[in-house]
Structure 1
Amino acid sequence: MDFSALINSISTIACVLSVERLPDDKIGDLRIVAANKAYKDSMPPNYYDGMLYTELFPKERKFEHFVASSCLKRKQIHTYVEAKTIGKWMDQVYIPLESDRDDIGYCIFSYELTENADPERMGNISHDTATSVIKSCAVFRTAENFHTAASEVVQELFEKCEADRVRVVSVDELTQGLKYIAGKAKNGFDDQDQGVDKIPPEVVKTWNKTIEQTNCLIITDEADMKNLEDRNPEWAKSLQEAGVKSICFVPLFQNNNIIGYLYVTNFDTSRTIEIKELLEHTSFFLAAELANNNLMEKMRELSNLDTLTGVFNRNAMNIRVDEFVSKAELRLRPYGVIFIDLNGLKFINDKYGHEAGDQMLWSAASIISEIFGDDEIYRAGGDEFTIICTKLSEDVFLDKVRRLREKTAYPSEITMSIGYHYSGSGDDIRIAMRNADLAMYKDKEEFYQEHPELRGRKI
């Protein structure tokens, strides 16, 4: 068929593409059959009519899927995507054409380039997608917290995509490890503990490299999976072992950095374009909400952590004590409180400087964490630490106190004065803390009586 007159009548950059229909609905060669002057002018000098598209561009399975859907399934498609290989955004239109052959399909492919993302073009989506996205936006504005909202949005996507699984994960900025955010599976629950938190950071880093030239990963058939195998065999293997036959995998961006992923698996591949559109547009505001939540968590962490030692600070301790006072379920269960004061910190500061004193505090926190790592450790101020234990029987609690005394007894490099109180019947925590504090000062007085040369301040 001669498409020259048709394609030359189009003023925007355009060409006619053809796709071979192979047995079992697989696709064969994808060729650029004819192109108008605007298209040819934008191509390298080696362009010629009838060439394989891979002679000009790297193989792109997502592009092939769009072309095949238009050529062979008679779908008219509009999409606005980031063309990372050229650093621009591409407003694409695919229009199916009549074919005189059963084994070949044709479509017009036309596009316009924009330097940056155009919100107006991005908003040109189907009514169903727009409704779902707006609903999800409203969820984030009305939900009690981020995780509740994320779960509701995942539920909406799960119902719309009719997939086996929908999941949102975040990527830790420092470790590049994954953190589970929300998920929904066909069996009624999402086994978040299987796979997500245990995927090594070095594997996660390969995902970004694999999809760096596109804005998402789409696998709809064996050919797509084989293409992934060639680029990232370990990822393809993990998907196959998990029983994944199709996936739409969309990164969540903040300032061009990937902060998470949204993906669906084993969906109706006849709806791939619709599902891709829904996930990509949902990802825009989901990424913004995730970034905001990450910032809030970091601020909460900074406000509740002691930056020198890494344990909780006095502010966090005060909040926790208020919880014990106000919540009956905390008041009525057994707990233990330990007060710790380092011996000789002022002596170290005066003789060796505050850097040595800081090292002493850090080392002390490390020793405490080694024994009480599963409990709540607070730096109450200066050289004082407080531990609240809510999960220990009295025998285990006392055994931990004994181990801490043995590890920090003189002449250890780090020595501590220790006082404690265990409540088996739910005493007022303020009374328990006072008792532990008095016991600690008694222990300190006895220590300095034995070692007056280390006395750094009046007791």
Structure 2
Amino acid sequence: MDFDSILSRYKAKTCIVSVEFFSDGTYGNIRVVAGNKAHYDDMAALNHPFVPGCPYEACFPKNPNFEEHCFRCVHDGVPLHAYVNLYMMNLWLNMFLLPLKSDQENIGYCLYCYDVAPKADSSAMADLSADTAADVLKACIKLRGTNNIKQAFSEVVEDVRSICNSDHCCILLIDDEKRVCSTFAESLREGSGLFPMSRYIDSFYDVVRTWPDTLAGSTCIILKDERDVEKMREQNPFWVSTLDQAGVKKIVLFPLRHGGELLGYMWVINFDVDDIVKIKETLELTTYFLASEISSYQLLKKLEILSAIDTLTGIKNRNEMNNRVDRILDGGEPVPQAVLFADLNGLKRVNDEMGHSAGDKMLRTAASILQSVFRDGEVYRAGGDEFMILVTEISEEEVQNRVAQVHFLSGKTEEVRFSIGVCYGKKDIRKAMRLADERMYANKAVYYEAHPELKYR
């Protein structure tokens, strides 16, 4: 075949790929048999001069997904397009495969036209089948047009499972620092015989941590038949053994990456193999947008936590206390049975005589004592050395027992001493807070009467 004549018509980086295939549906050698000038120049720029007829991995990173694309293109005689993130190299690859007629029985040829760029190109992403574009657009609209992001993700995952005609679709998030993973959203086909991720999640991180090495730079993992599973068994026997136990016969697994960070994974299980190209195309683009939304969601959750937590003591702050009171006043939450104010005695003396680091330690110890005693309530840092505690369901006798526990535990420390005021059973939260505060100051006056040497210190 006159490959040079074909290639001379292309300006973009283009080469001819040959695929050896067999009657049992498997493939053998994949080679780059010819290339145009742009391809030669590209290889030269990488200090890797092109040799016609070389194994494809002499030109491009070895990738089972690329092999599968080439094989499907020449075997089925269908043109294919993919736009993928080569995250290991911080590049985006835009690739086109066109089948060519072959003059050999077991060798097929395809024209491979490609380009790489450091940033994503939205126009390349949009160059998809109409069905895939519509499906991805629907997912984006659901995520952008909701006030309940978790519910929206559940709906998107259900849609993806349905599109792929699969038994299970799941988004799994990972926390490498804590070495845990969590199910963010999942959809399970009724009657599939599979179990939800809650059955496996406690020990699943041991499986997840094997996936980066298994991916080895690939954009995804596709196990579409028994042959793929057996090949994967040689590479990652631990993971495949868990697939066997769970009843998984086929899986497409994509990492969820955003800003260079691995957030988690998304997969579909036991899907319709006839739609594998559409499934890969759908997940390839969907995971790109989902990763962005998940990253934004996680950032907002962190900001919510920061806005609600006192950074010194780790307990809820005044802002969150005010929000809680507002919800109670609006009728969104019940009025607590008990409202308590606790004030530290002698914090100014500790700050003046021992330094603010000692005062900070005193505040952290005080917060820890209150949290340990009122474990079924909410403890807030209301001000500098003042705390408020709300307990929704508790008896009046038990409240007094808890106050005694606080005084007992603080007495075991060198510096922490509390003045505490309690209001029990009031239906008006503002009145309850005012009474508890007044009683706390009355208790503080009694404390300083007993310790007059500390009153102005």
Superposition TM-score tier, normalisation by shorter sequence: 0.7 to 0.9
Match of residue 67, structure 1, among 61, 65, 70: 70
After alignment, is 297-306 or 343-352 more displaced? Answer: 297-306
Does structure 1 residue 342 correspond to structure 2 residue 350?
A: no
Aligned to 2:429: 429
Call closer, same or farther: CA 1:411–1:8 in 2, change over 3 Å: closer
CA distance in 2, matches of 1:85, 1:322: 49
Aligned to 2:454: 454
Aligned to 2:321: 317
Per the TM alignment, residue 345 of structure 1 is displaced from its structure 2 partner at its CA by 1.1
Aligned to 1:77: 80
Aligned to 1:286: 290
Per the TM alignment, residue 306 of structure 1 is displaced from its structure 2 partner at its CA by 0.7
SS at structure 2 position matched to 1:378: strand
Match of residue 356, structure 2, among 338, 354, 357: 354
Call closer, same or farther: CA 1:223–1:356 in 2, change over 3 Å: farther
Match of residue 183, structure 1, among 174, 183, 186: 186
Aligned to 1:381: 383
Call closer, same or farther: CA 1:41–1:224 in 2, change over 3 Å: farther
Aligned to 1:18: 19
CA distance in 2, matches of 1:391, 1:64: 63
CA distance in 1, matches of 2:52, 2:372: 70
TM-score, normalization by structure 2: 0.85
Per the TM alignment, residue 41 of structure 1 is displaced from its structure 2 partner at its CA by 5.6
Q: Give 1:430's aligned amino acid.
A: R
Does structure 1 residue 251 correspond to structure 2 residue 255?
A: yes
Query: For residues 254-300 of structure 1, what are the alpha-carbon distances to aligned partners after superposition, in whole Å with 9 as ceiling and x for unaligned?
Result: 32222343322222222222112112222233233223222322222
Q: Give 2:355's aligned amino acid.
A: G
Once the two structures are superposed, the pairs formed by residues 11-410 of structure 1 within 5 Å of their partners are: 11=10, 12=12, 13-21=14-22, 23=24, 25=25, 27-32=26-31, 34-38=33-37, 39=39, 42-43=42-43, 44-45=48-49, 47-49=51-53, 51-54=54-57, 59-84=62-87, 87-98=90-101, 105-172=108-175, 175=178, 177-187=180-190, 191=196, 193-196=198-201, 199-200=204-205, 204=208, 206-211=210-215, 213-226=217-230, 228-229=232-233, 232-327=236-331, 330-331=334-335, 335-390=337-392, 392=394, 399-409=401-411
Call closer, same or farther: CA 1:85–1:385 in 2, change over 3 Å: closer
Call closer, same or farther: CA 1:144–1:233 in 2, change over 3 Å: same
Q: Give 2:33's aligned amino acid.
A: A
Call closer, same or farther: CA 1:223–1:56 in 2, change over 3 Å: farther
Aligned length: 448
Q: Give 1:380's aligned amino acid.
A: A
SS at structure 2 position matched to 1:337: strand
Q: Give 1:386's aligned amino acid.
A: M
CA distance in 1, matches of 2:203, 2:393: 26
What stretches of structure 1 of length at least 5 have no aligned partner?
none
Query: For residues 300-354 of structure 1, what are the alpha-carbon distances to aligned partners after superposition, in whole Å with 9 as ceiling and x for unaligned?
Result: 22222111111111111111112112216614xx633232112221111111111
CA distance in 1, matches of 2:188, 2:217: 29
CA distance in 2, matches of 1:80, 1:159: 23
Call closer, same or farther: CA 1:346–1:235 in 2, change over 3 Å: farther
Call closer, same or farther: CA 1:317–1:248 in 2, change over 3 Å: same
CA distance in 2, matches of 1:144, 1:102: 58
Contact 2:40 2:50 in 1 (8 A): no
CA distance in 1, matches of 2:291, 2:332: 38
Query: For residues 356-400 of structure 1, what are the alpha-carbon distances to aligned partners after superposition, in whole Å with 9 as ceiling and x for unaligned?
Result: 101111122222223334431110111111122225566665554
Contact 1:76 1:93 in 2 (8 A): yes
SS at structure 2 position matched to 1:245: coil
Call closer, same or farther: CA 1:288–1:225 in 2, change over 3 Å: same
Q: Give 1:265's aligned amino acid.
A: I
CA distance in 2, matches of 1:297, 1:261: 20
Contact 2:195 2:246 in 1 (8 A): no
Per the TM alignment, residue 217 of structure 1 is displaced from its structure 2 partner at its CA by 2.8
SS at structure 2 position matched to 1:181: strand
Per the TM alignment, residue 67 of structure 1 is displaced from its structure 2 partner at its CA by 1.9
CA distance in 2, matches of 1:5, 1:167: 47
After alignment, is 168-177 or 151-160 more displaced? Answer: 168-177
Per the TM alignment, residue 131 of structure 1 is displaced from its structure 2 partner at its CA by 0.9
Call closer, same or farther: CA 1:261–1:349 in 2, change over 3 Å: same
SS at structure 2 position matched to 1:116: coil
Per the TM alignment, residue 96 of structure 1 is displaced from its structure 2 partner at its CA by 3.0
CA distance in 1, matches of 2:85, 2:308: 40
Q: Give 1:21's aligned amino acid.
A: F
SS at structure 1 position matched to 2:433: helix
Call closer, same or farther: CA 1:411–1:129 in 2, change over 3 Å: closer
Per the TM alignment, residue 130 of structure 1 is displaced from its structure 2 partner at its CA by 1.0
CA distance in 2, matches of 1:108, 1:176: 44
Per the TM alignment, residue 451 of structure 1 is displaced from its structure 2 partner at its CA by 2.9
TM-score, normalization by structure 1: 0.84
Call closer, same or farther: CA 1:120–1:56 in 2, change over 3 Å: closer
After alignment, is 382-391 or 56-65 more displaced? Answer: 56-65
Per the TM alignment, residue 98 of structure 1 is displaced from its structure 2 partner at its CA by 4.5
